[in-house]
Amino acid sequence: METVILKADRKNILKCAEMLRNGDVVAFPTETVYGLGANALDGDAAKKIFKAKGRPATNPLIIHVADKHQIDDVAYVSDAAKKLIDKFMPGALTLVLPKKSNVPDIVTAGFDTVAVRMPDHPVALRLISEAGVPVCAPSANTSARPSPTQAEHVYDDLNGKIPVILDGGMCPLGLESTIVDMTKTPPKVLRAGAVDIDKVAAEIGELDTEKVMVDTLSALKVPVGYVPKAELVFSAYYDNMSEVINKYYDSSENMHGSRPVIFCRNENADKYGDRKVMLMGGSVTEYAKLLFERIREAEKSDYNLIIAEGVPMGGMGTTLLSRLIKLSGGKVI
Ligand code: AMP
Ligand code: MG
């Protein structure tokens, strides 16, 4: 199959909406990362997503809607969920809710719950609303690769496996959604993502964050999640972080065939002398936004060791650290 990249203009969005209605898959931009979408009410269409990504059938998909009321078509909404929907949607918060029976088992991997989100991106919203059906969509990468934040990343992973990629440019947040399971008491954070979990907690009171912490700690022992082609290590966050990183860089560079690069905040760039650096912006949020993109850039430039600066815990720092731990398999220097 030939994969075409289409500019996300009105005509192409309509074309892709029709493809979704006809049971095809379409890669499209959202504010978090690119998604690979299919009609969420069509089990055969959803199956194509798992096949293209090489995604295990045990990993459920997120249903994307174009309108808050469309959530009622696929899930039962509690009062607490309604509060979060009103506050954070459209946006990068996914809620796990009891599912309605019209959602095929393949979409939820057999669970009686369903994950739902309303993306805050004009192309995604237009596409879903023109399709006229809710759209299930995981990230449009090959399973276990870093999530794609540009159409080109999707092409690199899925060329030949999907018919079309709607190109809407770079994803503004560059990082997956935060997932909260509203069927648990207190609601449970399943993934720290682009919405700060402290802000979610502020809205509904108690929030169970133990899973995020436990997953993060267990990734230190058993590497899980993404597999970058370049090895990644990261520094703990402290005052003389750059000295530790420089020492690690210099000793790695002396090893045969090693091509290290440092991921650093803009303000720290001159602490690394002539060493190769890639800039991660001026804030933790920007760092998080650029992470997946820079990894793919480093891989393309044939760097084979990424030494990433650490950041303080808390807020988006927690999200970023959870990604660095996953990507590195817990290799902290
Ligand atoms: P992705 O969109 O590729 O980030 O994958 C969707 C994420 O949502 C996965 O981590 C799933 O485990 C999670 N997810 C989707 N549906 C459910 C559900 N019903 N219960 C718990 N987690 C879910
Ligand atoms: Mg994913």
- Domain assignment present for 109: yes
Ligand 1 and 179: CB distance under 6 A: yes
Atom of ligand 1 nearest to the CA of 138: 2
Q: What is the CATH number of the domain that holds 278?
A: 3.40.50.11030
Residues 92 and 166 in one domain: yes
Reported confidence tier of residue 32, pLDDT bands at 50, 70, 90: very high
Q: What size, in residues, is the chain?
A: 333
183 CA from centroid of ligand 2 (Å): 22
* CA of 141, closest atom in ligand 1: 3
163 part of a folded domain: yes
Q: Is the CB of 114 under 6 A from ligand 1?
A: yes
Residue ending a domain, choose from 169, 193, 208 = 208
Give the domain range for residue 314.
231-328
Distance from Cα 59 to the centre of ligand 1, integer Å: 6
Mean pLDDT is lowest, of 61-65, 156-160, 319-323, for 319-323
Q: Looking at the structure, do residues 189 and 235 belong to the same domain, yes or no?
A: no
Task: Tally the domains of the chain.
Answer: 2
Is the CB of 138 inside a 6 Å radius of any atom of ligand 1? yes
* Same domain membership, residue 155 and residue 281: no
How far is Cα of residue 60 from the mean position of the Cα atoms in its chain? Answer: 14
d(CA 235, CA 333): 5
Query: Minimum-distance ligand to the CA of 188?
Result: 1
Does 190 contact ligand 1 (Cβ within 6 A)? Answer: yes
- Report the pLDDT value the prediction gives residue 236, as an integer from 0 to 100: 85
- H, E, C per residue of the chain: CCCEEEECCHHHHHHHHHHHHCCCCEEECCCCCCEEEEECCCHHHHHHHHHHHCCCCCCCCEEECCCHHHHHHCECCCHHHHHHHHHHCCCCEEEEEEECCCCCHHHHCCCCEEEEECCCCHHHHHHHHHHCCCEECCECCCCCCCCCCCHHHHHHHHCCCCCEEEECCCCCCCCCCEEEECCCCCCEEEECCCCCHHHHHHHHCCCECHHHHHHHHHHHHCCCCCCCCCEEEECCCCCCHHHHHHHHHHHHHCCCCCCEEEEECHHHHHHHCCCCEEECCCCHHHHHHHHHHHHHHHHHCCCCEEEECCCCCCCHHHHHHHHHHHHHCCCEC
Task: Say if residue 290 is in the same domain as residue 159.
Answer: no
Residue 55 CA to ligand 2 centre (angstroms): 9
Based on the domain organization, do 273 and 158 belong to the same domain?
no
Contact assessment for residue 273 and residue 287, using Cβ atoms and an 8 Å cutoff? no
Query: In the listed set 176, 208, 240, which residue is the last one of a domain according to the structure?
Result: 208
Residue 226 lies in a domain: no
Which of 174, 208, 242 delimits the end of a domain? 208
Q: 198 and 239 in one domain?
A: no
184 and 251 share a domain? no
CATH of the domain at 23: 3.90.870.10
Residues whose Cβ atom is located within 5 A of ion ligand 2: 138-139
Mean pLDDT of the chain: 93
Q: Residue whose CA is closest, atom 13 of ligand 1?
A: 60
> Which residues fall within 8 angstroms of residue 271, CB to CB, at 6 or more apart?
242, 246, 264
Q: What atom of ligand 1 comes closest to residue 115's alpha carbon?
A: 16
| Ligand 1 atom 3, closest CA | 138
Q: What is the pLDDT of residue 226?
A: 62
Does some domain include residue 72? Answer: yes
Amino acid 221: pLDDT: 54
Are 76 and 153 in the same domain? yes
Assigned domain for 221 exists: no
Q: In this structure, is residue 58 part of a structural domain?
A: yes
Q: Is the CB of 59 under 6 A from ligand 1?
A: yes
- Considering the domain architecture, whether residues 171 and 289 belong to the same structural domain is answered as no
pLDDT over 60 (residue 225)? no
Specify the pairing of strand 188-191 against strand 178-181.
antiparallel
Tell me, yes or no, whether 16 and 88 share the same domain.
yes
- Whether 62 lines ligand 1, by a CB cut-off of 6 Å, is yes
pLDDT tens digit sequence for 156-201 = 999 999 999 999 999 999 999 999 999 999 999 999 999 999 899 9
**pLDDT tens, residue by residue, 267-308:** 999 999 999 999 999 999 999 999 999 999 999 999 999 999
The answer to whether position 215 is within a domain reads no
For residues 159 and 305, membership in a common domain is answered with no
Q: Which ligand is nearest to the CA of 35?
A: 1
The reply to whether 204 and 248 lie within a common domain is no
Q: Which two tokens stand for residue 253?
A: 């560079």
**Rounded distance from Cα 141 to ligand 2 centre (Å):** 7
Domain contains 38: yes
Any idea which residue has 């997953």 for tokens? Answer: 215
139 lines ligand 1 (CB under 6 A): yes
